[in-house]
Amino acid sequence: MFSITVLVEDKQLPKLLWLLDGVILDEPKIRPVRGATVTRGRVKSSQPVPGASLPEQVAAQLQAFQGQTISGNALRDIIEQSGGKRDSSPYVLGALKKAKIVSHKKGARTITVLKRKA
């Protein structure tokens, strides 16, 4: 058994779902990737901060959660919405901790988004 992740143009999604009907065992997880563009066969996200690195894009999205605690899965969802892969969460978390945007204790399941000083 395998699990696959694919990126599909929005106009092709209904066709793909029709082809997968009856073949897959579970419902597919469908998420839009904001500002995604294809350059040289690679998908890049230009949102929410055009040209910024993945940790910078995630930090921009985390501004809405200042002073709150979020789960690791919520952080992975934000990474995915920013155009990154869920597996890159350790790298992104480390970069966010170094920039003092979040705090996280090793082994903890939650992440605290620190308030930014104005």
For the entire predicted model, the pTM comes to: 0.59
Residue 2 domain flag: no
Higher pLDDT pick, 88 / 37: 88
pLDDT beyond 90 at 15 = yes
pLDDT beyond 70 at 88 = yes
Residue 118 domain flag: no
Q: How far apart are CA 35 and CA 50, in angstroms?
A: 9
Q: Which domain holds residue 46?
A: 10-113
pLDDT beyond 60 at 58 = yes
The structural domain count of the chain equals 1
CATH number at residue 90: 1.10.10
pLDDT beyond 90 at 75 = yes
Least confident of 23-27, 30-34, 47-51: 47-51
- 6, 28, 29, 37, 87 from 106: Cα distances, Å: 31, 32, 29, 35, 17
pLDDT mean over 82-110: 89
